[in-house]
Structure 1
Amino acid sequence: MKKGYKKLLLAFTFLLVLPLTLLAGCGKNSAHTVKVGVIGGDARVWKSVQSRVKKEGINLQIVQFTDYSQPNAALTNKEININSFQNYAFQDNWNAAHHTKIVSIGKTIFSPLTLYSKKVSNVKDLRKGASIAVANDVTNEARGLKLLASAGLIKLRNTPLPTVKDITENKKDLKIVPLDAAQTPRALADEDASVVNGGFALDAKLSFKDILFEEPTNKAAIPYINIISANKSDQNNKDYKKVVKVYQSQATKDLLKKLYKNEEIPAWDVNFNK
């Protein structure tokens, strides 16, 4: 009887432990993986989000890209789930040019476009015939030209996406040099000035003392607010919304201020209509 009882007890214990073991095994794989595509070498903010979103059951994988042509293509091909590198204007232009349906699911930062120079310390000191580099993609070229107009260097025809052909006044005969956006920081060695996007300026460790003019934070800046994007079919995905919520938090605001001072502004918490 004792031998039979022991066998029965062992069998009963096994049946109790087995479901718990299986449950524990499932728990290890219960996190949902979300791949976010980003550009630029400084991923400290996204690494912080990656750590914090684990509490929401999200395994966030950060996928690095090197230029603006890659993250939306990867998103459309479902190689990644969301991306965070572009602004509204870039996204609208991409959708129109590529017949895609990519939408914003949340604001991230506003990174002012900035005119830098290592040869002069004031916009007024730019010589006649000076050369200025700008990004050569449609959206950032237009934005760069608008920045030069805001700085009083040129005048533009009133059009949403101006090109050099839309310059109506150029009293200093400035030479506009279109380059890949990633090359604009390096252009400072050869050109008199360069219009550089925030991410590339940070990667290149450009100095605040080399700033000639910075994009103002007002209504005109709204198209250039950076966003988290997804395919339209996924815009209501609960996991992606969790990532957005964790990004748009006080912890992220504090980190942005600590890392970048006022160079990267938490756009979800700023009034641009002023």
Structure 2
Amino acid sequence: MKNKTFLATLTLSASLFLAACGNAASDSASDSSTADVTEPVKVTLGVVGEVNEPWDYVIEELKEKENIEVELVKFTDYTTPNNALAEGEIDLSSFQTEIFMDNYNRDHGTELTTIGYTVMAPLGLYSEKITSINELKDGDTIAIPNDVSNEGRALILLQTAGLIKLDTAAGLVPTTEDVVENRLNLQFQTLESNQTARALQDVTASVINSGMAVDAGFIPSEDAVFLEPVTEDSKPYYNVIAALSEDVDNEVFQTIVAYYQSEGTAKVIEESSKGSQFPVWDEAK
């Protein structure tokens, strides 16, 4: 009887030992499986406007192939995203021309730096009242952006259209004070860049940045009364991906640039902008 009791106890102990080993193996496998799942690298990217098809495409590619998760932080003006980048509230930005960024750095003592080029997005003259610049009349009012680089760019656009002449000494950043010939006595209303599209009901025509025009429902290549030509002199107006100067060599950021500067992205840019924007990363090299 004692022997039977002893054998039963021994069998029960062995069963408990094997079960414990099984549970330990299961827990170990579970821990190993968890370790194999790598958390994505997260990056925040500041943009302006709601329409961002090229970046939507790039974000999907990065998540699928590189486990990099890019979050778009959307702004409605051109100053706030630079402030956010300078303060470390976002990691990167992609919305501005290089000349705009250079002027921001000069005015704010910052060191935002280009880590990659994206597109040339031509500035356009838009109107709800005329369909050709030949219809402009004496004393008509044109709204233009009021920041240094975009005001200068808008005035150069009007000069290219043959409407005014500027003092050559002003270079790329003329103001309305540098208009030396104005045969139609055009009046200029300077506004925040995000207000120029909204001013269309109140002025004869308005110079609107490409992204703002798209958000307002325009197709720049089809709806602009006059569109900025793309030439070899356009490089200051190339749009850039910007980072803090200390992050220029960040491998994750450089991977994001590489995925943007791809044939797939170029196709999305062509389709989504209907030919209104042009990839410039090859020309910028």
* Cα RMSD for the two superposed structures: 1.9
Residue 10 of structure 1 is matched in structure 2 by: 19
Residue 109 of structure 1 is matched in structure 2 by: 119
2:268 maps to 1:255? yes
2:220 maps to 1:220? no
State the SS of the aligned residue for 1:220.
Answer: coil
Residue 198 of structure 2 is matched in structure 1 by: 186
* Number of residue pairs aligned between Structure 1 and Structure 2: 272
Taking structure 1 as the reference length, what is the TM-score of the superposition? 0.93
* Residue of 36, 40, 43 corresponding to 1:34: 43
Residue 256 of structure 2 is matched in structure 1 by: 243
State the SS of the aligned residue for 1:121.
Answer: coil
> Where in structure 2 are the equivalents of 1:47-126 lying within 5 Å?
47-54=56-63, 55-126=65-136
> What is the CA distance between 1:209 and its match in structure 2?
5.3
Partner AA of 2:140 in structure 1: A
Distance in 2, matches of 1:216 and 1:209, equals 14
Relative to structure 2, which stretch is displaced further, 128-137 or 156-165?
A: 156-165
Partner AA of 1:21 in structure 2: S
2:200 maps to 1:200? no
Residues 155 and 27 of structure 1: CA distance in aligned 2, closer, same or farther (over 3 Å) = farther
Residue 24 of structure 1 is matched in structure 2 by: 33
2:57 maps to 1:44? no
Contact 1:218 1:272 in 2 (8 A): no
> What is the CA distance between 1:19 and its match in structure 2?
4.1
Partner AA of 1:82 in structure 2: L
> What is the CA distance between 1:8 and its match in structure 2?
3.8
Partner AA of 1:197 in structure 2: N
> What is the CA distance between 1:178 and its match in structure 2?
0.4
Distance in 1, matches of 2:151 and 2:279, equals 24
Residue 175 of structure 2 is matched in structure 1 by: 163
Distance in 2, matches of 1:28 and 1:59, equals 15
Residues 114 and 272 of structure 1: CA distance in aligned 2, closer, same or farther (over 3 Å) = farther
> What is the CA distance between 1:233 and its match in structure 2?
0.7
Residues 7 and 58 of structure 1: CA distance in aligned 2, closer, same or farther (over 3 Å) = same
Give the fraction of aligned pairs with identical amino acids, expressed as a percent.
37
Residues 124 and 272 of structure 1: CA distance in aligned 2, closer, same or farther (over 3 Å) = farther
State the SS of the aligned residue for 2:27.
Answer: helix
* Residue of 225, 244, 249 corresponding to 1:231: 244
Residues 257 and 210 of structure 1: CA distance in aligned 2, closer, same or farther (over 3 Å) = closer
> What is the CA distance between 1:250 and its match in structure 2?
1.6
Distance in 2, matches of 1:260 and 1:209, equals 10
Taking structure 2 as the reference length, what is the TM-score of the superposition? 0.89
Distance in 2, matches of 1:26 and 1:73, equals 38
Residues 133 and 189 of structure 1: CA distance in aligned 2, closer, same or farther (over 3 Å) = same
2:186 maps to 1:174? yes
Distance in 1, matches of 2:30 and 2:241, equals 38
Distance in 2, matches of 1:152 and 1:23, equals 70
Contact 1:118 1:210 in 2 (8 A): no
Distance in 2, matches of 1:47 and 1:6, equals 56
